[in-house]
Amino acid sequence: MNTTRFTPADAAELYGIPNWSSGYFRVSDKGKVEVTPAPGLSATLHDIIDELVERGESMPMILRFPQVISARVKQLNEAFRTAIREYEYEGSYQGVFPIKVNQRRMVVETIAEAGYVYAHGLEAGSKAELALCLAQNMNPEALLCCNGFKDDGFIKLALWGRSLGKNVVITLEKFSELDRVLRISRELGIKPALGARFKLHARGSGQWEESGGDQAKFGLNASELLQVVERLKQEDMLDSLVMLHTHIGSQITDIRRIKVAVREATQVYSDIVDEGVKLKYLNVGGGLGVDYDGSKTTFYASMNYTLQEYASDIVYTVQEVCKSNQVASPVIVSESGRALTAHHAVLIMPVIDVTGPTRGSQIVPEPSEDQHQIVKDLEEILAGINARNYREMYNDAVGDKETLHNLFDLGYLTLRDRARGEALFNAILKKLAKLVQDLPYVPDELEDLPKTLADKYICNFSLFQSLPDNWAIQALFPITPISRLNERPTRQATLVDITCDSDGKIEKFIDLRDVKATLPLHEVSGDTYYLGIFLMGAYQDVLGSAHNLFGKVNEAHLTVRPGGKHTIDLFVRGQKARRIIESMGYEEAMLRESIRVQAERARAVGELTDADITELEEDYDEELLGYTYLEYEE
């Protein structure tokens, strides 16, 4: 056993907190995770949870920190301002937040408020999103980009937005949209501001690489872009085309791909300007990554550049191409969403149980008097394993286990012998794992031992509701205990949720060198053991599904105050059972009536009394109005 002292600094290194947190989270001297939205401000997550539990609120719960979003908006814009000053760039920068990343009211309003001084805008990709964006208090110069496919209603709403004084730009995603925009603008008498999305040959890197390039879903090719220019010339509306828009994907891991794409985009911009178009904006699209695993590499869960490098490389590349082509420098626009919102949200979930092959329930049963020889063979293997024969013994044990199950299936082995044989096999694996853990080379057949022997920590949450990207595309998110980080974790675990679905599990975890199959955790005993899932503020809120009718979780919006204090600004209750049931087409009154009729029938045959019916209806009503997640005494 490792008897060296385990410190909070050791825990921070073990869970990679300094590497992925971008300075917004840290481990305190008392071994608890703190949120640090700004210099001099900090609050302990466990203290926040204790306060909420004392108020009677239930887990799981999302903690949201608007100050972190504000800090990210400032950091992005200041990074571009720094680059513009450094390279003496003659244009400027305006950011845009694509609200598809997270349409939560707190998120959108915080970005609009924090970005007002920077004229930081919003992007809408649907009529509903546009309706939401139009209602925001934005800087008059801030862009409101309308992307995605559009019908008449979408275009009308965008044009009315210009009459409201908003800087609305309608992006043409396909050539046929131009006629629709021109027709509706004539009908309303409102002159449009247009952008044209161009399909770059360059592509991004990472999981969304295929969203860019020649086969991209959106955008015009070179011929179509020139046709747009010619058509606008014919309509004497060339000055309506104000933006060239490009996009090579989300979560771009390699800065070299970004530079190549920006160079191509700027070359297209220059050529369009040479055609007589007075473009104002060059929109380089999204893609600014988040370093989920902290490795600072081109791995799909990471990025090999900093935010300042991103801004500097874009500004430098645009300036270089514009100077070479002798065209005016545009207002650079980027549509960053993930990078602004990922850090602000933390899902807190309690561990409610632990299972696994080495837990107490897996005690080796006592041998029977007529114990089968195959069980005795496993006993001998367990007793005889050493550093010289461990591979041979492992192969023998695997073969004996297969024989054990075959004998049971054929009726030659009792259930008691099977139970003892399986427990012995698990004990063999555990002993093997200790033998090989310090070896310089682990044989291929033994590499999965830690995962095989890992505990399953059952957590009160739904993977499909709260972390859909982990299930759907195997996205990685940092996960760590929020306390006890001054204690050495002694267990290796995977995580499972409370849905009735075998896919409701997390078996891949971040690591600086590779993806880990297990997560080091503490033995669960006594006080509630909470785990935090971090960097989940982008996309997870809007993609979550109602698998097993688990609804949206409770959430608390918090402000961190000086002196380690905090205030709970808003508590948003998760979906009640009746609401999520109604979303499936049922009516609450119908459900209650069905229960009443069945209860009356049961009373008629003597199964229920009047008192029973009253209690049944009260319990049923309570659950209809209750939280969809498990509720235990914390």
Known binding residues are 282-292
Going by the DSSP 8-state scheme, the letter that residue 342 receives in this structure is G
DSSP codes joined into one string, 271-291: HHHHTT----EEE--S-----
Phi first, then psi: give them for residue 494, nearest 5 degrees. Answer: -115, 165
The span from the CA of 143 to the CA of 135, in Å, is 14
Please measure the distance between the N-terminal and C-terminal CA atoms of the chain and give it in whole angstroms.
32
The span from the CA of 253 to the CA of 256, in Å, is 9
Q: Checking DSSP bridges between strand 345-355 and strand 61-64, what pairing results, if any? A: antiparallel
* Annotation marks residue 500 as catalytic: yes
The binding site for substrate consists of 282-292
DSSP codes joined into one string, 218-246: S-B-HHHHHHHHHHHHHTT-GGGEEEEE-
The span from the CA of 191 to the CA of 204, in Å, is 35
DSSP codes joined into one string, 583-613: TTT--HHHHHHHHHHHHHHHHHTTS--HHHH
- DSSP H helical segments within 116-163, as ranges? 127-134, 152-163
Going by the DSSP 8-state scheme, the letter that residue 547 receives in this structure is G
- DSSP H helical segments within 275-341, as ranges? 307-325, 338-341
422 Cα distance to chain centroid: 38
DSSP codes joined into one string, 97-123: EEGGG---HHHHHHHHHHTGGGT-EEE
Q: At what angle do helices 373-384 and 390-409 cross, to 10 degrees?
A: 160
The span from the CA of 106 to the CA of 541, in Å, is 12
Residue pair 349/49 in contact (Cβ under 8 Å)? The answer is: no
Residue pair 59/529 in contact (Cβ under 8 Å)? The answer is: no
Active site members: 500
